[in-house]
Amino acid sequence: PDGNENMVDWLWVNKILYKPNSSVLYKLGDTLTIFNTTNGTFNLYDLNGKFISGPISIQETLNKDWTKEIYIDQIAHKPYTSFLKNGKFSLYRIDLPTGELTSILIASHAFPQKARVHHDFLFYIYDLPGIGDNKHLFRQKINN
């Protein structure tokens, strides 16, 4: 834009027309996966960057309860995502060839924080009501 007024118009139009892209790149075994959580899709590449397939739509992510979080188990090379409804945290495995979601577990505590997946376990912090230090770490086995 060549002037202040044109710049303001351009910024406004840019904000409306283009959604922010919150893509993340993960290495899963011999595949590079780029997850775009803005539109619920992912692309697959080989380790040399050659395109394999995509964009593959992650099923059911149009649901407004989707957290838009991608969790990667670096040991098992499996991607996961989650949904949060009424405080209940549900973990789903993402099938890379199809994008289908498989329900894996529901967290044992309401409103878990800082969830991570590692070696077939879900780790998260949860709050206990009371005075003082009420944050606790919990480990829950993922049944495959």
Angle at 23 between CA 6 and CA 120, to 5 degrees: 160
Q: Please write the tens of the pLDDT for every residue from 11-68.
A: 877 777 766 677 888 888 888 988 888 878 888 998 898 898 888 887 776 667 888 8
Residue 115: both structure tokens together: 């969830």
User: What pLDDT is attached to residue 55?
Assistant: 85
pTM: 0.77
Instruction: Identify the pLDDT of residue 15.
Output: 72
Confidence of residue 121 (pLDDT cuts 50, 70, 90): very high
Beta bridge partners of 112: none
At 134, the amino acid letter reads N
